[in-house]
Structure 1
Amino acid sequence: MRDSESTLHAEKSSPIYYIDNLEKEQRIMLRFRNHPRIVQTTSPSLHIDINLQRCRIYMEFASKGTLHDMISSFRGRPMPEVMVGRAALMILQGLEALHSRGYAHCDLKPANVLIFPSKCVGQPWELKLGDFGLSKEPCSDPWSLSGGTKQYMPPEAVGTNGAMMMMMGPAVDVWSLGCVVLEMFGGRPEKMGDIYAWRLPELVSPLANDFLRRCMELQPSRRATAGELLKHPFVAPERVMRRSVVPPRPDQMLRSCPPALRDNVKKGVPIMTMKMATRPGDLIGC
């Protein structure tokens, strides 16, 4: 919709019995007003239709679509690694803001990452997190019978017969980020019983491999935090935010690896261990 000044806004509506989710989404957007990685509300309150059947909220319009749209435009081919790193950096900036204040998104997936024109000269786009209807707030019950989309949920979130009884928290978002990165690299989830596993695509650099290993550690307590991942060279701003989106050469990627990882690569030691994929084509999450 457009306002009186012809500014385009996005509208999200739902049946009145989902009003709690929309109210929560509105609260979170207001809590993170003006944060560059969180979608902004354009109305201070939730709106209820006169017939009391539906409720709605308004937010800024993502004119470039979603990360899901961007991934789909590559038709199953991997996105350039620098582009993947740029997207991962922006998602992490949003997650770190949420986590540092006691929030967790709990439904991170490409369709919930919105793309906007960049306000920085030379940058083609920027990402913002949206859809906070399932998010955990600081004082809410961390246990839930419902979670986000199963393909992006960690193994600890799926119980017997696929039931979802999980501790909502930052570790869930970090695993989901790993799934999103794999999808940007052309990966696809494979259903294995009650869980989904992701196959590590071909041609993933050692640097990206190490980043994924830290995101997708099977033990939640050992999984990296968003703050820790922001320091990983895979998402280093000087590497991924430069104006040209030309993938770096393999020797450049190796030089930017942590010293221990660089030594292991030179020795031919497999990068991914501890039940993680050790080479492209292996499954992650089973």
Structure 2
Amino acid sequence: MSAPPDHPLGYRLRRLVGSGRTAHVYEAESPLYGTVALKLPRDELERDPVLRRMFENEVQMTLALSHPRIVAALAGYPTGAGAHLALEFCEGSLDAALGEPLPLASAYRLALDVAQGLAHSHERGIVHRDVKPANVFVKAGRAKLGDFGTGFFIGDAFSGEAQRARVGTAFYMAPETFRGASASPKTDLYSLGVLAYELIAGRRPFTGETADELMLAHTSGVPLSLRHHRPEVSPEVSRVVATAMAYDPEKRYESVRAFVLAFAAATGLPPDDPPPALGRSSRRPHLPLQPGGADAPPEEPLPKGRFGWLGRRRS
């Protein structure tokens, strides 16, 4: 197969690594940033204003975020011939790492990583809507939340219709989403709880062969305690994850930041960052769109543990 053509903005495209509803993703070389993951809009966006707006929103949302636990946006532009989103290149998705129980220390750290990235997203006024292992990426043994293609800015005019649409992955969707309720930070929190459960237990809390089976499981089932699968998990950790997954949104934590603090206390792991100062605005920021973002600060990676299976895909 011939190599893809280079991008007019100077990116040298190496290989196609994936495709989504709105964009193709390439491994590419940038004269400024080295190896990057480059998202380029699909041709269909020229004919579909909804998909076009989704790509535009993803570019703006990702550029609005800057946190070591979120895949860093290096540059991007939402519209026109130069539309693109350049991201830091990661080793692979967390989805490839699952399918068997992880060492508890690794599972706890990865869950806390994702929670901190999601907390930052919410504090910047952005709901993700599809928190799942395939949208979490691994670099140097640490997790980074990515792929905001189905997200929305809270309060944005476009978000009213988007917020009501049933979007997400059925294994991780909140009960109220199945019932037609609008997406919110609390639905993201539920998905985070499911992801944390899966990381720790090595299996999902709810299973099913069809969307209807999964809907029934999430809306009427009760998951087994984490300690049923792994007795070495402390009651405190089991309780924190169960609270995030509470059927009633009002019984979940007030925010993902509250989950971060409770989970860190239960596991003994310190968060990477302190909570934001009181009064910090969560309104949509006005940002220059190209270039944007920032490199994440240096990190101390986790010990390798079982991270050799990052190259394997879950069946």
TM-score, normalised on structure 2?
A: 0.64
Deviations 1:36-57 (A, max 9, x none): 122222223136559xxxx642
Residues 47 and 57 in structure 1, CA contact (< 8 A), matched pair in contact too: no
Residue number in structure 1 paired with 2:243: 214
Secondary structure, counterpart of 2:76 in structure 1: coil
Runs of 5+ in structure 1 lacking a partner? 118-124, 160-164, 248-286
Sequence identity percentage:
26
Residue number in structure 1 paired with 2:287: none
Cα distance in 2 for residues equivalent to 1:83 and 1:193: 28
Runs of 5+ in structure 2 lacking a partner? 1-27, 273-298, 306-315
Deviations 1:5-54 (A, max 9, x none): 5711112233313221111111111111x32122222223136559xxxx
Q: Which amino acid aligns with 2:56?
A: E
How is 1:1-286 mapped onto 2 (pairs within 5 angstroms)?
1-4=28-31, 7-13=34-40, 14=42, 15-16=44-45, 17=48, 18-32=51-65, 34-46=66-78, 48=80, 56-62=84-90, 64-71=91-98, 76-117=99-140, 125-139=141-155, 140-141=159-160, 143-159=163-179, 165-184=180-199, 185-188=201-204, 189-191=206-208, 192=213, 194-197=215-218, 199-200=224-225, 202-204=229-231, 205=233, 206-224=235-253, 225-232=255-262, 233-238=265-270
Task: Using the TM superposition, give the Cα deviation of residue 214 of structure 1 relative to its aligned residue in structure 2, in angstroms.
Answer: 1.2
Residues 60 and 78 in structure 2, CA contact (< 8 A), matched pair in contact too: no
Q: Which amino acid aligns with 2:85?
A: I
Q: Alignment RMSD, CA only?
A: 2.9
Structure 1, 204-213 or 144-153: larger mean CA deviation: 204-213
Cα distance in 2 for residues equivalent to 1:246 and 1:203: 21
Number of residue-to-residue matches in the alignment: 225
TM-score, normalised on structure 1?
A: 0.70
Cα distance in 2 for residues equivalent to 1:86 and 1:171: 22
Q: Which amino acid aligns with 1:81?
A: L
Cα distance in 2 for residues equivalent to 1:239 and 1:44: 29
1:199–1:21: structure 2 CA closer, same or farther, 3 Å change rule? farther
